[in-house]
Amino acid sequence: MDTFSRWSHLFLVFVLAGRNDLFAAASDVLDLGDSDFEYTAAEQETMLVEFFAPWCGHCQKLAPEYETAATKLKGTVSLAKVDCTVNSETCGRYGVNGYPTLKIFRNGEDSAAYDGPRSADGIVSFMKKQAGPSSVPLHTEEALNNFVNNFEASVVGFFSSGDSPQLAEFLKASSSMRDSYRFGHTTDLGLGLSHGVESESVLLFRPPRLSSKFEESVAKFGEDVSTAALRQFIKDNVFGLCPHLTPENRENLRGLDLLTAYFNVDYHRNIKGTNYWRNRVMKVASQFQSRGLSYAVANRAEFQDELEEEFSVGADGGELPIISIRTTNGHKYIMQEEFTRDGKSLEKFLEDYFAGKLKRHVKSEAVPESNSGPVKVVVADNFEEIVNDVTKDVLVEFYAPWCGHCKSLEPKYIELGEKLSADPNVVLAKMDATANDVPLPYDVQGFPTIYFAPAGLKDQPRRYEGGREVNDFINFLKKEATHPLVLGTAKEDL
Secondary structure (3-state) at 352: helix
Which contacts of 233-236 are long-range, i.e. CB under 8 A and separated by 24 or more positions? 233/202, 233/204, 234/155, 234/177, 234/181, 234/204
Determine contact, residues 277/244, Cβ cutoff 8 Å.
no
Tell me how far apart the alpha carbons of residues 30 and 82 are, in angstroms, rounded to a whole number.
9
Which residues are part of the catalytic machinery? 56, 59, 403, 406
Count CB neighbours of 77 within 10 A.
24
- Helix (H) / strand (E) element for 4: namely helix 3-25
- Helix (H) / strand (E) element for 284: namely helix 271-285
Tell me how far apart the alpha carbons of residues 28 and 77 are, in angstroms, rounded to a whole number.
11
Secondary structure (3-state) at 14: helix
Q: How far is CA 290 from CA 278, 285, 455, in A?
A: 19, 10, 39
Determine contact, residues 100/62, Cβ cutoff 8 Å.
yes
Tell me how far apart the alpha carbons of residues 395 and 486 are, in angstroms, rounded to a whole number.
15
DSSP code at position 215? B
Rounded to 10°, the helix 227-237/165-177 angle is 60
Tell me how far apart the alpha carbons of residues 156 and 186 are, in angstroms, rounded to a whole number.
8
**Buried b / exposed e across 334-362, counting CB within 10 Å, b at 16+?**
bbeeebeeebebbbebbeebeeeebeebe
- Is the C-alpha dihedral spanning 380, 327, 120, 49 positive or negative? negative
Determine contact, residues 174/218, Cβ cutoff 8 Å.
no
- The pair phi, psi for residue 200, each rounded to 5°, is -55, 130
Tell me how far apart the alpha carbons of residues 456 and 163 are, in angstroms, rounded to a whole number.
64
Which one, of 144, 146, 112, 138, lies nearest residue 127 by Cα? 112
How far separated are the first and last CA of the chain, in Å rounded?
87
